[in-house]
Structure 1
């Protein structure tokens, strides 16, 4: 059963995350780290299935800790945590090798979806490496691609709609379809996946 490592320098945030993760169906164990440095040492000892890593921490920040972790353990799966939809943080985290991205105030359903996505995506990538197609990027419609590109630029649904001559409700419909196709829990998660698959640059 999966083990999840939660890394956050805030005691309150880490405790809240630990409780939220422990409540996710299928998660067997939750271990904690209070810094990037501790996350590196705990990962080697615990070998967690997923690591939730705060982007901004004093000392060794989450992005650099992720880069070092993946250099040492390429099979590690890391989901970055942030206080807001920080597209720049998404880009840096994905370039560092993160598997996904989650806003800290996400719902329990979004947290469960993100963990499930990262766990199953690892299986899909292994299948793709054996010659399957499961790990490939999904086929997006032209509108879904345009909406994703707008999100990657930090545009709101209204701004995307004005640029594409669509109503905001229509943009939301395309966004929901996009989320389902890529397995994203929110806009930031969709952008992270888009960067990782080369759908946006």
Structure 2
């Protein structure tokens, strides 16, 4: 049974999300916070299974709140929420320890699938090997040097065109390398690939 803490500075967005999350199987309690500061104050008391954190908020913002929360409580599980695919903000939050992201205009089914997967990961970590933090060995793919360069560029928030300029490649060639590394990493998009890359220590 899981508790989810929803953090968004918009009262309407917060309430809409709270209602959507409350219908997800396995979620027994949904809390709401209006700022990153509130999450930092409440997490040690409530200890939610998952935090849904808006990337851009007034005050310290979602990315910095995530960094501080995970620095203080490494076991915290945070998913970022963003209006569009804000790869730069998401990548910085993932670098700080967020587990992934969900777009705010995701369908209810997409939101539910992402939350359920995150909660499953949390449950898996509880039964993990304490030495490795992994529930069994996960085979990591071997990326080519070029794929590593593309992944590194993504982790720094670079667009495909910017990565192409840095590597003297066409944008189409960068996209080809990106598709290959997504396939190898089991990632649906660049933000998920960056998340996996940070988790596996491929990018720093």
Instruction: Report the TM range for the smaller structure's normalisation.
Output: 0.7 to 0.9
2:172 is aligned, of 150, 162, 179, to: 162
- SS of the equivalent of 1:84 reads coil
**1-side partners of 2:6 and 2:134: how far apart?**
31
- Higher deviation after alignment, 105-114 or 30-39: 105-114
2:196 is aligned, of 183, 186, 193, to: 193
Tell me if the contact between 1:102 and 1:189 (Cα under 8 Å) persists in the aligned partners: no
- Partner residue, 1:54: 54
Tell me if the contact between 2:6 and 2:18 (Cα under 8 Å) persists in the aligned partners: yes
Tell me if the contact between 2:160 and 2:174 (Cα under 8 Å) persists in the aligned partners: no
**2-side partners of 1:46 and 1:196: how far apart?**
26
- Whether 1:34 and 2:39 are equivalent positions in the alignment is no
Q: CA deviation at 1:18?
A: 0.8
Q: CA deviation at 1:187?
A: 4.2
- Partner residue, 2:167: none
Q: Deviation per CA, 1:104-157, whole angstroms, max 9, x where unpaired?
A: 1122222222222222223444514356863655433759x949838654339x
Tell me if the contact between 2:85 and 2:103 (Cα under 8 Å) persists in the aligned partners: yes
**2-side partners of 1:194 and 1:55: how far apart?**
20
Tell me if the contact between 2:49 and 2:119 (Cα under 8 Å) persists in the aligned partners: yes
- SS of the equivalent of 1:3 reads strand
**2-side partners of 1:38 and 1:132: how far apart?**
28
Q: Deviation per CA, 1:12-55, whole angstroms, max 9, x where unpaired?
A: 11112112211211111110000111112222222110000111
- SS of the equivalent of 1:20 reads helix
- SS of the equivalent of 1:114 reads helix
Q: Deviation per CA, 1:51-85, whole angstroms, max 9, x where unpaired?
A: 00111110121111112222332211111111122
Tell me if the contact between 1:124 and 1:134 (Cα under 8 Å) persists in the aligned partners: yes
- SS of the equivalent of 1:43 reads helix
Residues 164, 31 of structure 1: alpha-carbon distance in 2 compared, 3 angstrom cutoff: closer
Residues 105, 137 of structure 1: alpha-carbon distance in 2 compared, 3 angstrom cutoff: farther
Residues 123, 27 of structure 1: alpha-carbon distance in 2 compared, 3 angstrom cutoff: closer
**Normalised by the size of structure 1, how large is the TM-score?**
0.76
**Normalised by the size of structure 2, how large is the TM-score?**
0.75
